[in-house]
Structure 1
């Protein structure tokens, strides 16, 4: 059955679910993800960010926060190789990925930094997060809620990164601004907002890439 027929056979669906299905059926990244065995099309966003900024190095220690379903962890594992270490952490359960250690934890928990560094075998070279709050349809609200997740991930990254390390996180609308952006610039020497090609054109998501971690201030 071709895609056109499959869309026509969706009577009874809501308008929003029909639009989502049409996007999925016509999205080349969805097809590529299925073909290559990635758990989500988001894997290609990380691949594109890595190609631009050389984030994932052989032998690196990588933390993927909010890792489920695992697309970013899969790409990280491919890039760092057998000599590297990838730890995925999420409050949600995640199906195992070969070569990836998964921690079922709340990143706000007091013990989280210690558990993560123990799993990594040291400080992280790179902390990643593709987390976003469930959307409400109200852009300002979605931005605030996702920015809160970004801030929590940033705070944890500051606790577990090695000097010189990097942080990549998702934001919405105008990106990280105000006090949040000032905090990022205080701790990292190179900060950029980027929209990778794999992000849908209609999406308001951006990724903040922060490199050159300056170390924790005592």
Structure 2
């Protein structure tokens, strides 16, 4: 018999905030300045990884002479400059959070970003009420390793298969599935081509009634 869901873990970038749109602009501008193109192939390889690892992929892909640290500084400046104009919540996020709260289910954020970044993103789009955040600062192994979601289940005090994970990327889904969580994929136009093997459900948005069905929400 399937266990009831007792907690919900949300990825952030691309799941609750359209920050992947911002990253696309940042990657495009960063490489334009260096005479290179930010291709879909490169973007998909970088997506869902901690910043330093993602930038290492970019450097290796184009043979850049920049250090990871220099690109992090430049990228952060570009990110917030662009974010102020286009950053917003993903479709149906607020309504879904209200439904989760109404059911009395605790919720958290599990992101590959830093705590400082997560706090700022959620502040910018006006989302709060999370019991805790698991960030790159809290784990040794980031997604697609299961550690982030295993740690989330531990902090909730639930078994991994009693936790619902909501993810937009292939790496994020691999992390949730490997942890043993009930994992829902929410692909967007950045991640539509990713491999979501093992996901319990692939949904268009958080408005999909099948997600509420998993949570036994009315």
Q: TM-score higher than 0.5 here?
A: no
TM range (shorter): 0.3 to 0.5
Instruction: Look at both structures and tell me which one has the larger radius of gyration over its CA atoms.
Output: 1
More helix by share: 2
Higher strand share: 1
Q: Report the TM-score when normalising by structure 2.
A: 0.40
RCO higher in structure (CA 8 A, sep ≥6): 2
